[in-house]
Every structure is written in C-alpha cells, then in structure tokens.
Structure 1
Amino acid sequence: MNIKEKEISYQTTNTYSTLNTLTTKTKNIWLVFHGIGYLSRYFVRLFDSLNKEDNYFIAPQAPSKYYKGNDYRKVGSSWLTKENTQVETKNVLRYIDAIIAKERIPQDLNFIVLGYSQGVSIASRWIASRKINCNALVMISGGFPKELHKEDFDFLPKNTKIIHIVGEMDPFFEIEKVEAEKERVREILPQIEFRTHPGGHELNIKTLTHII
C-alpha cells in the first residue's frame, strides 16, 4: 500500500457561549474551558449562581463533537487527543484568539482564566503561548501539560493568583499522583495555591470564592 498523510489549511467556524451581560458595572471577565464530554452552553450554566452584575463568562466550545451513549441522543465534545496533537493545539489556540478579539475585553477589568478537567491543558497552553497577563489562573481536576516549564510563565507578575482545585473523592486522582503533581507544578508556578473540596471529579462553585 502506498498511503500518504497530507495536510491542508482551510477556514472553519465554531460557536462559543457567554453568560450574563458585559456592562459598565462588570468587574470580572471569566474565560472558562469545559472538560471532555461537555458542550459550552451547558458548562457555562455551572457559574449561574455567582453574582450576575459583577461577572461575565465566556465559554469556548471544543471543536470535536461526538455522540454520548448508545442511544445517539446526547452530544459531547473534546479539545484534543493524542492524534496530531501539535497541529490541533495550534488550531484551538487560534480559535481562542478569535474569541478574545471579538469580545473586546476591557483592559481595566479582572481577567480570570479557568480550566476544568481537559480544559486545564487548553487554558494553561493558551496563557503560556500567548503570554496572557491574567489576574488569575484556576485549574480544576485536570493535569498540567508535560511540555510546559517555569520559563513559559516567567512573564506573569508574582501577584497573579494561581489556584489548583481537586475533589478529595476524585476517582481520576490517586493521592500519590496528586502529591507528585503538586511538586512539579509548584516548581513551575511557585505562587500556586492548592484547594480541595469533599466531592469527586466536578466543578464545585464554593471553591471559587475569593479568587480575586
């Protein structure tokens, strides 16, 4: 067989979701990345209990969709796989750039980047590659990319809040692995704060208090 895998570039279109309204009273802009299996319009609802006047949420949508379950009724999505990861990462980061350009985020507001589960890898890679000077980076129940190092985040001010949150009953995180990961990430982001909640692999809104 004479099989060749070739590459082509083309323009594509994707959606994203927002929650609340950006006004002169808004204090915080949140860029929130969902985990595997979510659609952005459902994920962003998890933040509905936070103050609506103070907070404006932008939830990008992972581009790869698939049917969940055998009844082919529910749809989920995924950011990346091990297949063609470098190219797909570049595609995703350009998509995020386009969202930020369209939203025209005011520079005088608090900018918080949050990644949940698989979204942690996207949030951290985007900040590192684009040198995003955010006020806070929140990582929830997700692994930190192996290719990122301390020098990738040297541009961040020391007062940037870095928070890592994991559920005490999270089936995807064994205690030994969590402790080892803490040490690795602390070397990269010395100012990191670790938080836990009594639940499992989930986003617990109560742990997001006092982010800014």
Structure 2
Amino acid sequence: MQKEVVYQSTNTYDTLNELTEETKTVWLVFHGIGYLSRYFIRLFQSLDNKENYIIAPQAPSKYYKNNDYKKVGSSWLTKENTQTETKNVLNYIDAVIEAENLPSTINFVVLGYSQGVSIASRWIASRNIQPDGFVMISGGFPKELAKEDFTFLTDKTKITHILGEKDPYFEIDKVNAEKVRVKEILPQIEFRTHPGGHELDISTLEKTF
C-alpha cells in the first residue's frame, strides 16, 4: 500500500543582478532537465544588468549525470507521481515569488526552456498569472492544458515560442501539428526560430523583447 505524508521542505533558487528602481524587467526563468539553476542563470548575463533582474528557480529532484558521480543535474517532473509532484513544484514557485516581493508595476516575463516550458505553463494556468511576456523555448506544451485554462489572459501578454531549426528533439510534422493546437489555446502566440539546435539562443530572445 502506498501512502502519503506531508512535511516541510527547503529548496534554493538563484538570482542575477539587483532589483532596484532602475530595473525595468523581471525574468522568472525555468531551466531544462539536466541543469542546475546557478548554471542556467548565466545564460542571461548579456542582458543589461541595470534594467534586468533574473530569478531562476531550482528543480527539486537532483541526480548524478555521469558514472563518475561528479556532475549533478536536476529534473522538475517525471511520469512517476506527476500530479502530486506538480503541486509541490507549484507551491515552491509561489514561495519564491512571495520571498522576492516584486513590485506590481514591474515588467514581468515568465520563460521556460525545454522541460521548464511545462512548469512555466502550468504555473501560469493554475495561478491565473498575467505576465507581460511568456516565452517558451525548445519545449512542449502540456497536453492536459486547454483554452479554458487561459481565459484570464488578455492581449497584454506577449507570448512567444522559440525553436532551433536544427533541434534534434522535434520532428517538423509534429511541430506543425503542435503549432495548430497551441495557437487554438493561445491565439496571440508568435512562433520564432533560430539557426541553432536545442538551446537557449539569447540573441533571438533579445530581439523578441
């Protein structure tokens, strides 16, 4: 018999730059599988450090990536006990946002890369978040989410999906079919590409915002 227990847990997250009166945009960025937040956040170092403040939550499940047991990666979710684990992750994100106490007037962008797309999407949908921007990079949109889950969104939110033209994880037929599905759910979405592979291309991101 499988049982459940509720307990308090502690997790870290990383930030880049400082939140000041000069800050124009706050980025909440979710890394992909295999990353640690402190390494993922370095991808945003080229953004203006006065105008941009980046928050990178850390996926709670960590593992050794190679047989030498030196490099550590992490994962947000697996197919095991997904519903409960999703609730735990979303509660953790809520705690991060509460701890940061962000001003309501700030430009707020939510970004998910690879596996992080599923977390960002579910958090926005379940918490009725109205960000100024929502960026999905090289990741699939959760199958359980429907148009009804995003009725609270307005045209205020700029939604973009970015995919590498040489991304080995995406077949063109499946990509085109997914574009149709996601377009029905998020009508204002814009699809963009970059010439690379399964990666976060910061230059394409800078052109988007």
Structure 2: 5+ residue stretches without partners: none
Distance in 1 separating the partners of 2:138 and 2:208: 17
Deviations 1:103-136 (A, max 9, x none): 0011101000000000000000000000001001
| Structure 2 residue aligned with 1:136 | 133
Distance in 2 separating the partners of 1:58 and 1:135: 16
| Structure 1 residue aligned with 2:26 | 29
1:156 counterpart = 2:153: yes
| Structure 1 residue aligned with 2:200 | 203
Task: Please state whether the residue corresponding to 2:78 is helix, strand or coil.
Answer: coil
RMSD: 0.7
C-alpha displacement of 1:209: 2.1
C-alpha displacement of 1:210: 4.3
Task: Please state whether the residue corresponding to 1:158 is helix, strand or coil.
Answer: coil
Distance in 2 separating the partners of 1:54 and 1:66: 35
Distance in 2 separating the partners of 1:211 and 1:23: 23
Task: Please state whether the residue corresponding to 1:29 is helix, strand or coil.
Answer: strand
C-alpha displacement of 1:152: 0.8
Task: Please state whether the residue corresponding to 1:46 is helix, strand or coil.
Answer: helix
1:177 counterpart = 2:186: no
Distance in 1 separating the partners of 2:26 and 2:171: 33
Deviations 1:174-208 (A, max 9, x none): 11111011000000000000000000000000111
Distance in 2 separating the partners of 1:145 and 1:8: 27
| Structure 1 residue aligned with 2:11 | 14
Task: Please state whether the residue corresponding to 2:59 is helix, strand or coil.
Answer: coil
Structure 1: 5+ residue stretches without partners: none
TM-score calculated relative to the size of structure 2 = 0.99
Distance in 1 separating the partners of 2:16 and 2:55: 7
Amino acid at match of 2:164: G
| Structure 1 residue aligned with 2:190 | 193
Alignment of 1:75-94 (within 5 A): 75-94=72-91
Q: 1:126 aligns with which of 123, 126, 133?
A: 123
C-alpha displacement of 1:211: 3.8
Task: Please state whether the residue corresponding to 2:142 is helix, strand or coil.
Answer: coil
Count of residues in correspondence between the two structures = 209
Distance in 1 separating the partners of 2:35 and 2:47: 20
Amino acid at match of 2:199: E
